[in-house]
A and B are shown apart, each in its own frame.
Chain A
């Protein structure tokens, strides 16, 4: 089955700096890669996703890049703000009706003032 590894496990940045979180996956058939943000005690919320036919996707301060050959994808957050502090999870799947997500172990991002 699919295996997703995520690094780093914790990340501390100063407000305004950029943050980068990296994930690798094992199943070359995976073609859908979402990123979720989870605040303490709350539900995971989708913040951005990318499909394998695209190398990069951007939404305001958030971007995701995908390297299919190397089987890795990354989340980039620019101009970080304190409200970006949360745990971020990457995931991988074969998109389709019955698709289940395989999640990474999470990155705790702390944005300091």
Chain B
């Protein structure tokens, strides 16, 4: 597609529910990143994929967070047993080959845990 697509655009979850957030990167983009943006803050790195390989997951805040990209294109970020502190905008970005080629961000998924 023309840009990075994320779905759903908004998600309200009850505390304790599991959620799955989807990212469709730009076709052909090798690198895919997930960031978490809390209200009034800058995005914070969660995890990075190169094709289907998850090369860096150092930013995942707990073992409740899990990300996958099984075929090297679409990626899913899953949050188990959601907590109120998980409320944030989750941004996906893709790149042809990393920062040297620039990032394109998606519009994000706003997760609200009630």
B90 CB to nearest chain A CB (Å): 12
Mark B10-51 against chain A: 1 for CB-CB distance below 8 A, else 0.
000000000000000000000101010000111111001010
Contact B56 A97 (CB under 8 A): no
Contacts of A43 in B (CB 8 A): 4, 91, 105-108
Asked if A25 CB lies within 8 Å of chain B CBs, one says no
B42 contact from A95, A98, A100, A106, Cβ within 8 A = A106
- Bin the interface of chain B by size: 20 to 34
Count A-side interface residues using an 8 Å CB cutoff. Answer: 25
Flag A74-92 by CB within 8 Å of B: 1 or 0 each: 0000000000000001010
Asked if B98 contacts A96 (CB within 8 A), the reply is yes
Per CB-CB distance, the 5 closest pairs between chain A and chain B, nearest first, are A103-B42, A97-B98, A99-B99, A100-B45, A43-B105
* Chain A contacts to B: CB under 8 angstroms: 4, 6, 32, 34, 42-46, 49, 89, 91, 93, 95-106
